Amino acid sequence: MVGISDGVNGHGLNLANLDETTQAEIDAYLTTRWKGRGPLYDQYAMSLMLDYAPDFAKLHWLGAECFRTLPSDPNTYDPSYATPNSIQQLHSYMVLGWETGIRNQFRVLRRLGFTRAQIMEIVMFGRLVAGMRGLGHVYHAVGDMLPDYADGHGNPTFPAGWESDPDAFKAGLDLSERQLTKADRTNIEGWYERTLGYVPTSVQFGMRWDPQIFKLHRALWERAIKTLPKQVAPYLMLRDATLSGEREALREAALLGKAWGLTPDWIVRGITQTMHYFTGLRGLYVAYDAVNDILNNWEAS
């Protein structure tokens, strides 16, 4: 790890000088984008900023560099922090239907060590909100090459404390019975009371008005993440709720993250990376409403 102040060269760009950008800097940067021989969206998207607003391009890169640090320790640079951020990007590109971004994130995650099976856990969790359309976009992006996919080493680096715990998801559903049983209802309410401290109104509505499909969807949620750290689930939920602007969903994601060991830094990063790449500052309105009191009263709550 190095101090972020040492990382003034952004793939050929002198990030220490916003007011002057030479053609040599631009050429050097665009060349680095070609080296990976992957999707070239970064090359052509960045060229728009570099050609017409180079100071803006450099600020964009400085913002990206922030996500290799944490809010509480902005001077310590850790490349491993790319892992949580990349899984969020794959999730969002499924939801938004951006197939170029999906293909790129498969490449990024493989370089970070993910196997095909591990990436597909993220895809299946994304299916919960992106539906069949999201899966269709994944297939169009990478489906033809998945049978021959070269796995990563299988041990991607996650932040300290992020650990696999598939049993944490399970409320105790009886899947031999399709209908929501009295025991199922009791177990689900107990799981939410223990984990969040309350039963979300979305859960109350589902159990009241369409209990069978609610039970099956809950079972999908419980089984999507099998080997990856359980913290992946609330981290993706933070992205989805910030992107959609859903206050109660964002609050639930933050409380689940807290219960499962996400630190305040990672709660914040799950929100602010979404702001930087997708919503702009308007995304922080819902964050203030949903999460500000949780962060302010972290130890007390």
- DSSP for 108-152 reads HHHHTT--HHHHHHHHHHHHHHHHHHHHHHHIIIIITTGGG----
CB-side exposure of 209: number of CA atoms within 13 Å?
Answer: 6
Strand 13-14 with 9-10, pairing: antiparallel
Structure-token pair, residue 281: 């500052």
pLDDT of residue 9: 67
pLDDT of residue 301: 58
pLDDT of residue 6: 40
Cβ distance 213 to 235 under 8 Å? no
Cβ distance 69 to 81 under 8 Å? yes
Cα separation values, 293 from 48, 195, 200, 289, Å: 40, 18, 18, 8
| CA-wise closest residue to 177 among 148, 212, 145 | 212
Single-letter code of the amino acid located at 2: V
Cβ distance 221 to 169 under 8 Å? yes
pLDDT of residue 42: 80
Structure-token pair, residue 137: 């976009």
What are residue 13's DSSP bridge partners? 10
CB atoms within 10 A of CB 223: 15
How far apart (Å, rounded) are the C-alpha atoms in residues 117 and 114? 8
How far apart (Å, rounded) are the C-alpha atoms in residues 54 and 95? 30
Q: What is the pLDDT along the chain (301 residues), one digit of tens a residue?
A: 333 334 456 788 999 999 999 999 999 988 888 887 778 778 888 899 999 999 999 999 899 889 999 999 998 989 889 899 999 999 999 999 999 999 999 999 999 999 999 999 999 999 999 999 999 999 999 999 999 999 999 999 999 999 999 999 999 999 999 999 999 999 999 999 999 999 999 999 999 999 999 999 999 999 999 999 999 999 999 999 999 999 999 999 999 999 999 999 999 999 999 999 999 999 999 999 999 999 999 987 5
Is-above-0.85 flag for pTM? Answer: yes
pLDDT of residue 40: 76
